[in-house]
Structure 1
């Protein structure tokens, strides 16, 4: 799923729910840069963490 993530998509980190909603900034070579509401910009190793795609940002807040 991570390979399908594109800039602008909204995600959540399954192991860090307190980070809040994140917006994908880039996805290059398996490294996904996400700007989270409460954690700022974080680079995720896509092979280690499967980010959860958020289709409706109003759910789960």
Structure 2
């Protein structure tokens, strides 16, 4: 898992770098590299933190 993904906590806002159409997402959980995010346009998605580095959003 990337160092940045390791810092993600429930409630944090993120974007998927390869899926901008999913919109803004809110982290639901981050357990053992499995990150569950609820995206506005895609719904709930479980991601492998070893395969994708989510981008934190601080200004929305």
TM range, normalised to the smaller chain? over 0.9
Q: How many residues align?
A: 57
Q: For residue 18 of structure 1, give the secondary structure of its aligned residue in structure 2.
A: helix
TM-score by length of 2: 0.94
Runs (4+) of structure 1 exceeding 6 A deviation are none
Separation (CA, whole Å) in 2 of partners of 1:41 and 1:25: 9
Among candidates 15, 36, 54, match of residue 18 of structure 2: 15
TM-score by length of 1: 0.92
Root mean square deviation, CA, Å:
0.3
5+ unaligned residues in a row in structure 2: which ranges? none
5+ unaligned residues in a row in structure 1: which ranges? none
